[in-house]
């Protein structure tokens, strides 16, 4: 992997992890375009860790507050919201891995995410705060996050949309969705790291120190920008614009998967 490719992948990972367009789908797509195979898993771990740093920096004050009051509503609801993805990961791990390997669901996943975003914007009033939420709310949002384990289905898109559909106030929906991503990203990093250690394959030596460092740096910076931008965009009801992009991208991917077979 060249350092330019590493920077591109880092920027894409950082922005798409928190913009509602699916980081997994874009990374799978770009890795196929760049023909990146050897070391791809380890590089993906590095980029995910960089985006984790970005969201922690943005929400450092809320995280510190939760650590001081671990039994208050927000941290408890984050734990509850993490349960569905933990269960789905245990039950469907092999199936999901197969989808990532083939990229078969990319086109459909992009289009599906666009439909969910558009519908979420069209739902009724959004006034509920964390204090107004009931146990079913984090479970439903967590289930939406679990669905986003599929490549090209956006985690931030699904969790934010799920919160908006439940009538949760926009800023609260964004904050909860991004905080909920922290244990999910951490678990994904830990799972992939264990896989690398267990198999002894796909080490970062295949990528190189400089490309890895540059990829992480650009992923962290772009991730920080993306979180800040998304909070603003959600409050201004502009999620639907991402739908148009996802439908166009999904359509192009489907055309290649079904007809042209340039990358798939």
- Picking from 232, 220, 185, 219, the residue whose alpha carbon sits closest to that of residue 57 is 220
Instruction: Please tell me what DSSP assigns to residue 131.
Output: G
Q: What is the pLDDT of residues 67-125, one digit of tens each?
A: 999 999 999 999 999 999 999 999 998 898 888 888 888 999 999 999 999 999 888 78
Spatial separation of the C-alpha atoms in residues 207 and 84, rounded to whole Å: 34
Q: Rounded to two decimals, what is the model's pTM?
A: 0.92
Q: What is the pLDDT of residue 189?
A: 85
Q: What is the pLDDT of residue 177?
A: 97
Q: Concatenate the DSSP letters of all residues of 199-221 into one string.
A: H--S-GGGT-HHHHHHHHHHHHH
Q: What is the pLDDT of residues 228-246, one digit of tens each?
A: 999 999 988 889 999 999 9
Helices (H), the chain: 3-18, 23-34, 40-58, 60-68, 73-102, 106-122, 136-147, 155-165, 170-199, 209-235, 240-255
Number of domains forming the structure of the chain: 1
Q: What is the pLDDT of residues 149-163, one digit of tens each?
A: 998 999 999 999 999
Question: Which range has the top average pLDDT, 5-9, 64-68, 258-262?
Answer: 64-68
Q: How many residues are present in the chain?
A: 264
The parent domain of residue 255 ranges over 3-260
Spatial separation of the C-alpha atoms in residues 195 and 78, rounded to whole Å: 26
């Amino acid at each position: 992997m060249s350092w330019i490719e590493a920077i591109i992948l880092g920027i894409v990972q950082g922005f798409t992890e928190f913009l509602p367009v699916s980081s997994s789908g874009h990374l799978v797509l770009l890795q196929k375009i760049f023909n990146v195979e050897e070391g791809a898993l380890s590089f993906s771990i590095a980029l995910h860790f960089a985006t984790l740093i970005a969201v922690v920096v943005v929400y450092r004050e809320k995280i510190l507050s939760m650590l001081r009051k671990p039994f208050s509503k927000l941290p408890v609801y984050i734990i509850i919201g993490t349960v569905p993805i933990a269960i789905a990961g245990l039950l469907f791990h092999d199936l999901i891995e197969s989808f990532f390997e083939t990229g078969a669901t990319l086109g459909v996943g992009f289009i599906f995410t666009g439909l969910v975003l558009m519908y979420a914007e069209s739902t009724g009033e959004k006034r509920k705060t964390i204090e107004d939420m009931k146990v079913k709310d984090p479970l439903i949002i967590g289930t939406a996050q679990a669905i986003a384990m599929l490549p090209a289905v956006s985690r931030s898109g699904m969790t934010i949309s799920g919160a908006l559909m439940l009538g949760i106030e926009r800023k609260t929906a964004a904050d909860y969705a991004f905080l909920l991503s922290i244990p999910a990203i951490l678990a994904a990093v830990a799972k992939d790291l264990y896989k690398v250690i267990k198999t002894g394959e796909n080490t970062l030596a295949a990528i190189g120190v400089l490309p890895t460092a540059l990829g992480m740096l650009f992923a962290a910076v772009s991730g920080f920008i993306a979180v800040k931008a998304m909070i603003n965009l959600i409050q201004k009801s502009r999620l639907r614009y991402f739908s148009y992009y996802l439908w166009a991208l999904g359509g192009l991917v489907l055309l290649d998967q079904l007809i042209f077979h340039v990358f798939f």
